[in-house]
Chains A and B, each alone.
Chain A
Amino acid sequence: MDFLLDIPVLGFILQFLVYLVNVIGNGHIAPIILGLAAPIALGALCGVMNERSGVVNIGIEGMMLFSAYIAFMTALFVHQAFPAEPSQLFGATPALISGVLAGVIAGVLISLLHAWLSISIRADQIISGTIINITALGLTSYLNRLIKPFDSAGTFRSFRPPAGLIELPGVGWLFEMFTAVGPIAMSTIVLVIIVQILLFRSRWGLRTRAVGEHPKAADTVGINVIGLRYRNVLIGGVFAGLAGAYLTLEATGSFQNNMTAGRGFIALAAMIFGRWTPLGAFGGALLFMGSQAIGVAIRLAPPVGDLGTFLFGIQQAYPSLYNNFFTGLPYLLTIIVLAGVVGRSNAPAADGKPYEKESSS
């Protein structure tokens, strides 16, 4: 079979695919992929909650950023007031747990602003989301400059699954992916499945979809359109808040200005890619961020043979462009996927349209 790998261009691609399968299966890269995808998936869940009930939310980015900051600062304050040893389970401390809670509350509060502007005030929803992004960026940079935190409350630790589980041939990497991660990343997959089931199998899900597709009809049968939209946008804020807390309390342990770096928008694209379903969006998140993980994999376990020589040559000649290429892959994939998918997928029919009872106008 090896002769296949020697064919010019095609062999090269085959070499790359062989390398990919190898590195995902045996390279301990799978948990990294889930780690990168978790905030995207949570952001996409926020998007699903909003848009399935007919509210466009491009403010996910700002919600994540604001929650990330509040989560980090709360954890820091609690850490300084009540220092505690990390516990056995995930290395959790009172500081980290209160940080996550504060991040979630911050996410809900910002989505309350979005809900008020887009549902009650009936402002343009894209403008409202942009305003949230601008305000969150400004406010967090302002506070970050004012307080300049040097300390950190640390981060959650990844779970250590038993070695026997992750060394299972064939499926070991899957177990590793979903267990050798921190608590927020681990709960992401659970939340995705829960929302998926509730959205398509529960009364709430049916009502939500009805409100997103045809609010007038939903209103006629006695569903409180405004109330349901409010509730769903606020629940979406919980997910955005978790995504923010993930960035500061599980992934990095610090806060930098604009640290979300477009993740909220990649989340939107993942949602569109997944056709407004939680599971599909999760798949999109894995796809987008998996591309970034390839860069990590190549650094940790460089490929051998022609492929390795080729990549090493590029890296030597253009170190900066080489690194930026892998950093930029998720953004590039987002554009490509969006361009390929949008025309063939349908947004909820009432997405972005404020609802107004006819009697009141």
Chain B
Amino acid sequence: MISRPRSYVGLLVVPALSILLALLVASVIIIASSLIGPEKKINLLLPLVAYRSLLAGSFGNFKGIANMIVAATPLMLTGLAVGVGLKAGLFNIGGTGQVLMGGFAASLTGVLLTGASPWIAIPAALLVGMLAGALAGFIPGFLKAFTGAHEVVTTIMLNALVQLLVSGLVNDVFRAPGFSFARTAPVGNAELTGVAGTNLHFGVIFALVCIPISYWLLWRTTVGFEIRAVGANPTAALYAGMKPRRTMMLTMSLCGAFAGLAGAIEVLRLGYYPAVFGTSIGFDGITVALLGQSHPFGIMLSALLLGAMRAGAPLMQIQARVPVEIIDVIQGIILIFLAAEIVVRKIFRLRTPQEGTGELQTITRTYGEKVVG
């Protein structure tokens, strides 16, 4: 059975309610933590103050909206990196490593093409970033297809390995002289600079284009059909004459390419690659994909939502003195409610649909055993 969207309204209800419930639970946490926070007394209004400055930081003015879109841009891509994988029954939590690979490769390309015109340097750097990300995605895909090593473990291990390798390379080989910390040389003309006095940059277009492309790929092409068929049932796909192994490697490479592009955009926006590139976009992609129900347009919406939270969080930390890490807590709680869909439906007395999506069952089924053949 290849899952079809039930109906678009139906797809939106549970995520929206989960967000609502998560914000409620998070406000309880904020109230409780006001007791141990800097003021040491219970402040019942603190959640409202926090959420208001969160909104003001992301929707308050044109600059805020621009920041939100800029924050959402890489999240759409890392969301696709998880979501497209889920369609094939693969759970790609290696976004972090793929982002770092893509970003590092893009920065080197920028340094190499430092004299070239932006029209050449930017696309070239983004393309190389995508390819590097695809390579980082291909490795766990290959291991899963031919050895059965589950991608959840291998991708996490690769995240750590890529981080160690790339930071070692920046420190020992590509370190630019004259800076107080280890970083690469400036990417020169490949830098994605803001336009119209905001942080908006041309990379946004690349991310926005990937959304309809992946929709088209998944539902309008043979490759997409094979991806979804393998996700629904690899064994059946094999008997139907498809090649699940090839599809797995292809899907993981595609996922890696999306994440690599996200990393490339972030690094080109920064203008250089720092040895310690702390970014949460890889892991945020998991939330974005699950919240968006692995559907490209759902991923776009939830990336915008999470982007708004990320863009508004610094203002919230200044005004309400609630640490930005509350966003990570909210994400976690949203996911708990999404997973406990039945509970959410009971709370709001919604009807329970018959069967859930088939891909998720494939993920756990293939854990610790050979996938096909």
Contacts and interface: CB of A to CB of B under 8 A. Distances in A.
Interface of A: 51, 56, 58, 113, 117, 121, 123-128, 130-131, 134-139, 141-147, 261-262, 265-266, 268-269, 272, 317-321, 323-325, 327-328, 331-332, 334-335, 338-340, 342-343, 345-347, 351-353
B346 to A, nearest CB: 11
Given A335-B157, A343-B147, A318 B168 contact: yes
B369 A262 contact: no
Given A142-B328, A338-B153, A324 B367 contact: no
A318 B172 contact: yes
A146 B40 CA distance: 11
Nearest to A139: B329
Contact of B325 (A125, A142, A334): A142
A272 B286 contact: no
B283 A147 contact: no
Contacts of B336: 113, 117, 131, 135
A128 B343 CA distance: 14
A321 B148 contact: no
Given A134-B287, A138-B325, A262-B156, A321 B169 contact: yes
A128 to B, nearest CB: 6
A143 B368 contact: no
16 contacts: A121-B340, A126-B91, A126-B363, A126-B364, A131-B332, A135-B332, A135-B336, A265-B157, A272-B368, A320-B167, A320-B275, A325-B168, A328-B165, A339-B143, A339-B147, A342-B368
Contacts of B331: 134-135, 138
B149 interface: yes
B198 interface: no
Contacts of A123: 339-341
Nearest to A124: B360
A13 to B, nearest CB: 23
B161 interface: yes
Q: How large is the interface on B (under 10, 10 to 19, 20 to 34, 35 or more residues)?
A: 35 or more
Given A135-B329, A142-B325, A352-B367, 18 more contacts: A56-B364, A58-B153, A123-B341, A124-B360, A127-B91, A130-B93, A134-B287, A265-B157, A272-B368, A320-B168, A321-B165, A323-B168, A328-B160, A331-B161, A334-B157, A335-B158, A338-B154, A339-B147
Interface in B30-63: 33, 36-37
Contacts of A141: 325, 328
A347 B369 contact: yes
B246 interface: no
B373 to A, nearest CB: 10
Interface string B147-185: 111101110111111001101110111000000000000
Contacts of A268: 153
A312 to B, nearest CB: 15
A265 B325 contact: no
